Amino acid sequence: MSGLAYALLGALVALGLVAAAARLRGFASQKPEHYAERTPAFDIRERLQGAILCEGVLYGPLGRVTSRFVADMNARWEGDRGHMTEAFRYDTGTTQDREWTLIVHEGGRIEATAPDIIGTGEGWQKGAAVCLKYRIRLPEQAGGHVLDVTDWMYLIENGTIMNRSEFRKFGIKVAELVATMRPAP
């Protein structure tokens, strides 16, 4: 093997180790059990109920804000089955609507579906946190890409929900969202 081939192989191994370390220590390493003892308890049937105001920013792959948004949400529950609408208004003037169906199962497991979600999203609520993982198809005007999404929502003592989400394509982070959700005034 030539010196160049050894150098390329070494570089690939190093990149693989860096990627593995990030997954073991970063955002992706979180587990619902990490928040099991935290309070207040986050039950989406109680906290995602009625009119909700959401405000947030989207970061692009270079870590810069690419978009800001405000969303009006409304959720209602019949037992363990919920329906939530979202109406996003972006700083560019574009809008986006989504309708979720959420089901909470025994032990806090969550199923989530929406028209732009591929298959069924899965999640968990434990302690003061909720995690949802799903695949989303972006609208055509945003490229129509399919992204893997991990949503983490953390309940703050005053009732505000902090939301942090990562969007990945082929395992590479392409966007991040940070938002607040709170009962609409």
What confidence tens digit (pLDDT) does each residue in 108-140 have? 999 999 999 999 999 999 999 999 999 999 988
Same domain, 58 and 82: yes
Average pLDDT over residues 28-35: 76
CA–CA dist 70, 179 (Å, integer): 9
Residues 16 and 36 in one domain: no
Distance CA 18, CA 95 (A): 38
Beta bridge partners of 58: 67, 177
What's the rounded Cα separation, in Å, for the pair 153 and 157?
13
Number of domains within the chain: 2
| Residue 12 phi, psi dihedral angles, 5° rounding | -65, -45
Mean pLDDT of the region 45-58: 97
Q: Which amino acid is at 173?
A: K
CATH number for the domain including 141?
2.40.128.20
Q: What pLDDT is attached to residue 60?
A: 95
Is there a single domain that holds both residue 86 and residue 46? yes
Are residue 128 and residue 167 in the same domain, yes or no?
yes
- Say whether both 5 and 62 belong to one domain: no
69 and 8 belong to one structural domain: no
Instruction: Check whether residue 46 and residue 8 sit in a common domain.
Output: no
Same domain, 18 and 86: no
- Claim to verify: residue 39 and residue 22 sit in the same structural domain: no
Q: Are 130 and 147 in contact (CB under 8 A)?
A: no
Residues 58 and 125 in one domain: yes
Residue-level pLDDT at 18: 53
Residues 76, 4 share a domain = no
pTM of model > 0.85: no
* Average pLDDT across the chain, whole number: 89
- Judgement on whether residues 67 and 127 belong to the same structural domain of the protein: yes
Q: pLDDT-derived band of residue 39, with 50, 70 and 90 as boundaries?
A: confident
Q: What is the structure's pLDDT at 36?
A: 76
How sure is the predictor about 6, in pLDDT bands with cuts at 50, 70 and 90? low
- Residue span of the structural domain in which 2 resides: 1-30
Q: What does 91-103 look like in DSSP terms, one character per residue?
A: TTS-EEEEEEEEE
What percent of the chain clears pLDDT 90, i.e. is strictly above it?
A: 74
Tens-place pLDDT, residues 58-85: 999 999 999 999 999 999 999 999 999 9
